[in-house]
Amino acid sequence: MKEEEFSAAAASWCCWIAEALWKPPTPDMLATSQVLAPLEVDGGLREACELVKRLSQKVDARSVKAMAVDYTALFCGFDINSSFPYESVYRSEGRLMMQEASAQVKREYERAGFDWREWGATEPPDHFSTELRFVAFLLGKTASGEDSPVEKAPYRQLLEEFVSRHVAAWGAPFCSDFETRAETEFFRAVGMLARAVLLHLPGAVR
């Protein structure tokens, strides 16, 4: 899979995962996975994409309700050890929200001209979904055929720094946590897919 193809496909999957973890999945949202190109990098990543697609096809009212219940238990619970989707929780003492990590990623968004409030105004800027959408934004900038290598260079550098310092640094344990705690096969598959995408992102930005 060529670098440009992977970047485009990875950006689409980052947005899809971001949507899956932003609010309880709906049938319409689940259906959008069917049009996404598979990430043909290795067997594990390809299998994760295919599993999510297959599970997203087999939905009915009962399974969607089960996903909603699982979503609430995983990401909106009152247990301090819940899988709260915020970088600050995973990188601060006491697992607190709105810590330095939140301010750091906000500065990175502003530096790149990324309007995180467009879909994240109700959540802190270090929500996992918002960070994934930022990665997708940067992947789009680096893969653009309209810009020269010189114009792409700052976005490529920012993408590499952001992946290593932020989303990949804490996203892997976050995804492992909710993958382990999930009651539904769907969220276990999303966790597996998200971890696989994070694993391959560093290679995509070099």
- For residue 38, what is the DSSP state? P
Give the whole-angstrom CA distance, residue 200 versus residue 71: 26
Residue 146: predicted pLDDT:
65
Q: Which of 53-62, 99-108, 145-154 has the lowest mean pLDDT?
A: 145-154
DSSP state string for 14-32: HHHHHHHTTS---HHHHHG
Residue for token digits 């539904």? 184
Range 107-126 average pLDDT: 88
Reported as a single tens digit per residue, the pLDDT across 12-22 is 989 999 999 99
Residue 190: predicted pLDDT:
96
Give the whole-angstrom CA distance, residue 200 versus residue 135: 13
Confidence of residue 2 (pLDDT cuts 50, 70, 90): low
- For residue 123, what is the DSSP state? S
10 or 189, higher pLDDT? 189
Kindly give, in sequence order, each residue whose CB lies less than 8 Å from that of residue 65, ignoring residues fewer than 6 positions away. Answer: none
Residue for token digits 């960070």? 131
Please tell me whether residue 128 adopts helix, strand or coil conformation: helix
Per-residue pLDDT for 154 more than 80?
yes
Give the whole-angstrom CA distance, residue 73 versus residue 82: 8
Residue 7: predicted pLDDT:
79
Kindly give, in sequence order, each residue whose CB lies less than 8 Å from that of residue 29, ignoring residues fewer than 6 positions away. Answer: 19, 20
Residue 45: predicted pLDDT:
79
The shares of helix, strand and coil residues in the chain, as percent rounded to the nearest 5, are 70, 0, 25
Alpha helices, H only, 60-148: 61-75, 87-91, 100-112, 117-120, 128-143
Cut 0.85: pTM above it: yes
Tokens of 115: 């309007």
Mean pLDDT across the chain: 87
Residue 19: predicted pLDDT:
94
Residue for token digits 């709260």? 84
Reported as a single tens digit per residue, the pLDDT across 163-203 is 999 999 999 999 999 999 999 999 999 999 999 888 888 66
Reported as a single tens digit per residue, the pLDDT across 37-94 is 776 666 577 888 889 999 998 889 999 999 999 999 999 977 777 899 999 999 998 8
How many CB atoms within 10 Å of residue 39? 23
The values of phi and psi at residue 22, to 5°, are -85, -35
Please tell me whether residue 172 adopts helix, strand or coil conformation: helix
